[in-house]
Structure 1
Amino acid sequence: MNRKTWYKWHSLAGIKLSILICFILLTGTLAVISHEIDWLINSSQRVLPSVPASNINWSKVYESANKQNSTAPIASINAPIDDWFAVEVIRLNEQEQRYREYYHPLTGQYQGEGRWYNWQRFFRMSHRHLMMPTIYGVTIVCIVGLAMFFSLISGFFIIPQWWKGFFRKPRINNKKTFWNDCHRLFGLWASWLLLTVCITGIWYLIEVWGGNASFPEQTIPAANKVEQGLIKTSSTVFEKAIKSVSIYHDLNIKRIILPTKKEQLIIVQGQNDTLLVRDRANNVIFDSINGDYLTRRIAHKQSVHVRISEAADPLHFGVFGGIYTKILYFIFGSILCALAISGTYLYGLRHYNSHRSEFNIALKAWKASWLGIGKLKWLSLVLISIMFILALFIFTNYVLI
């Protein structure tokens, strides 16, 4: 294809799904910092002055949680996202619905509670699958991701010597030239992130349609799997298990999963020096009755298929480097949002023959873009409307206590 044909398809791929593209990029950018948004909104999550992760007193938190509520089962205990976050305890209420409690990581003092469906859940679910059943929602989002991927690739074919444009100042001759240069600049600087999220998005599509990886089954004694009702783990057994972790694994604890009605286990998950894996890739499992060691999982010993699957989330959301990579992803995610918006506006400018002395050029350019989207704008608006309706239903019908 020549440059003109590449431009035509680049323009069509961007404009036809522009509403959905903008929405998915916006929710994805906010999903990156969604934990921090909850931290700002809910004072119970804050720990100031901050406490280093290495100083978390898991036993005190567990003991305090049992004193705070001796009847509501504890599903898991999650390490702070960063040093200024509280330890998060996930509990089940009488309706067996999850909710959150927050404890000081050093003293174990109870700080307050929060809903299961918070802002972090809202932005992640909106971005990942539009609140729809996973297989349908992920498929829709990933198809939009394929359109963005094509726009990315085609963009390099329509920009001559694109590698020289990273520090080229936008020209201010006229609106069309200015926004064209801005659009190119946004695209060049954010291309690495767009490539990353598109490739991981393609992997999510493969996973949801049957290509997902599974960890090798861990050998658990039959006695620990028999459904016999929930047996609460004593503080002594809990402390024994946590202190034993270092014997079997070089694990930085991130999550402790407590026993369920079907499995009498304490599952300790976390990170070691293995790059780009989720917390679940490493674990040590103990008997929840006596605290004895049962088995473990080591991330770097997993198959290539599993390692690819585990790398998808850290790369897609930029959590692999803590707050620093999250800030980086948020900044360049914002540039991607600007890229999508400027591309839509530029389409309108190019398809509306304006004159320098004409008023309301911007309004008329946006109208031209709206018309250029065609019938797909209604599909995009319907899908986004369904998302908000489902979100309203889910978030208002979920019982907290």
Structure 2
Amino acid sequence: MGHALDAGGRRKQKKGRSVWWMVHSWLGLKLSIFLSFILLTGTLAVVAHEIDWLVTPAMRVTPRDAPQASWGKLAQAAARTEPTARLQTLYAPIDPWFAAEAWMDHGKGAPSRVYIDPWSARVTGTHRWANVHRFLRQVHRHLMLPTKIGIPIVCSLALLLATSLVTGLVTYKKWWRGFLRRPRGGDARRMTGDLHRLGGLWSLWFVALIAVTGIWYLVETLGGQAPVPKLPKVASASPVSGDALDRMAALVQRQRPTLKIREIRFTEDNGVIFLGQDQAWLVRDRTNGVAVDPSTGRITMSLDGRNLGVHQRVSEMADPLHFGTLGGLATKIVWFVFGALLTGLAVTGAIIYTLRLKKERRTASRKLKVAWTGMGAWAYLCTALVLLALALTPGAIAGAS
């Protein structure tokens, strides 16, 4: 009788694992087209600035062992290049081999970009608004759709990743022993399955990270945004000249000597805002800043990332963790590698389930046809979303800011 109970318990346990496995496999196949597209564009978005650097000669400069030009000289160079436009934002170089970048507002349509050598303050070239970074950011974030529609659709995949993580661990018996298990040879299904499990184990931390931050973005879209500080209004002022900007930058550095200015915004209502990194860890540049009224030269507000509430802190941590910008190029490379691995998991997961369907149905049909029919209506829906995003791209990246 004891043996009968043991057998019954094992059957029940096996059935339970089978249900988990079916959920894992079903999600991996049905939504594989859409999931692979979002994972691939997100992976490329991590290094989108670097891709733009490779394809845009004006963004490339030679690092020098010399003092860099002042913010005022950079602003003057941009203003001389686009005299009919208003300087909207000025960015410090992302890395020493990048040019500084100015966004110029032409009154209607998207801004243009002016690239400036940060040492000589010489303009190296101009570029339209649309670039690789803009395309990847928008297609990955909201599929070129209105954000209220696109972001929830994309972020719902975070729930899929979380479910796949849990079901994968449940179905992989004694998974903690598999980190150093070599893939077996033999048929394609066995090899693909072993590679899928091995890659999944080593990317557990990354899957969890992307799932959690993706769920957070979904929460924000559904009304859970953290409060954003309101800056004081200032009187409209004429464009800030180079010398005036340098005086304001010097004032900001006296007030906040530890602030590393990375961005300057020239607003019409809130004055000139200096943003960057300070003593708070794992936050976006916008959390540390000083606003200056250009008409009086006085500081109107100072923001310090160390003073954030819990809700704000979580919100500001999401981007550095999701895109791997917390440690510069080194962490972006790590995020890119694991993003590619995660994309590979989506592809191999679909292959595994396709091979299983092909074996069960004993069909001679090609794997692609088996996969397509196995996805059912989801194949058409997912493909339609991808094609729609690509069709909307020309208008979306050319006109949005």
What TM-score, normalized by structure 2, do the two folds share?
0.91
Aligned counterpart, 2:239:
232
Q: Report the CA distance between 1:97 and its aligned residue.
A: 2.7
Matches within 5 A, 1:235-246: 235-246=242-253
Give the equivalent residue in structure 2 for 1:206.
219
Q: How does 1:1-400 map to 2 (within 5 A)?
A: 2-49=16-63, 55=68, 57-218=70-231, 220=232, 222=233, 224=234, 226=235, 228=236, 231-249=238-256, 250-260=258-268, 262-263=269-270, 265-353=271-359, 364-395=366-397, 398=399
Mapped to 1, the partners of 2:65 and 2:212 lie a distance apart of 36
Equivalent residue of 1:102, what SS? strand
Judge which range, 57-66 or 83-92, deviates more: 57-66
Instruction: Measure the CA separation in 2 of the matches of 1:398 and 1:314.
Output: 26
Letter in 2 for 1:73: R
Deviations 1:118-170 (A, max 9, x none): 11010011111101111110110111221121011110001111111111110
Note the residue ranges of structure 2 that are not aligned, 5 or more in a row. 1-12
Whole-angstrom distance in 2 between the partners of 1:50 and 1:393: 39
Amino acid at match of 1:146: L
Report the Cα distance in structure 2 between the residues aligned to 1:212 and 1:162, rounded to whole angstroms: 37
Q: How many residues align?
A: 386
Map Cα deviations across residues 58-86 of structure 1 (whole Å, 9 max, x no partner). 12211222332333100010111111100
Take 2:399 and 2:24, find their aligned partners in 1: how far apart are those partners? 43
Distance in 1 between residues matched to 2:192 and 2:69, nearest whole Å: 51
User: SS of the residue aligned with 1:352?
Assistant: helix
Q: What is the alpha-carbon distance in structure 2 between the residues aligned to residue 56 and residue 373 of structure 1?
A: 57
Q: Distance in 2 between matches of 1:354 and 1:205?
A: 38
| Paired letter, 2:154 | V
Distance 1:91 1:322 in 2: 26
Contact 1:51 1:83 in 2 (8 A): no
Contact 1:318 1:329 in 2 (8 A): yes
How much has 1:94 moved relative to structure 2?
4.7
Distance apart, 1:257 and its partner CA: 0.5
Please tell me the residue identity of whatever aligns with 2:337.
Answer: I
Q: Secondary structure at the match of 1:294?
A: strand
Q: In structure 1, what is the Cα distance between the partners aligned to 2:128 and 2:316?
A: 27
Q: Distance in 2 between matches of 1:98 and 1:364?
A: 49
**Cα distance in structure 2, aligned partners of 1:336 and 1:75:** 37
Residue identity opposite 2:24 in structure 1: H
Partner of 2:3: none
- The one-letter amino acid of 2:55's match is I
Amino acid of the structure 2 residue aligned with 1:165: G
Paired AA for residue 220 in structure 2 = E
Give 1:190 shift: 1.6
- CA deviation digits over 1:81-109, x for unaligned, max 9? 11110000000125353110000111111
- Identity fraction in percent: 37
Amino acid at match of 1:368: V
Letter of the 2:368 counterpart: W
Q: Deviation at 1:185?
A: 1.0
- Spell out, residue by residue over 1:343-393, the C-alpha distance to the aligned partner (whole angstroms, 9 max, x if none): 1011111111299xx9x98x7233222211110111111111110111023
CA shift for structure 1 position 290: 3.5
Equivalent pair of 1:11/1:347 in contact (CA under 8 Å): yes
User: Unaligned 5+ residue runs, structure 1?
Assistant: none
Deviations 1:235-259 (A, max 9, x none): 2221111111222222111100113
Question: Is the partner of 1:295 in helix, strand or coil?
Answer: strand
Instruction: State the Cα RMSD in Å.
Output: 2.2
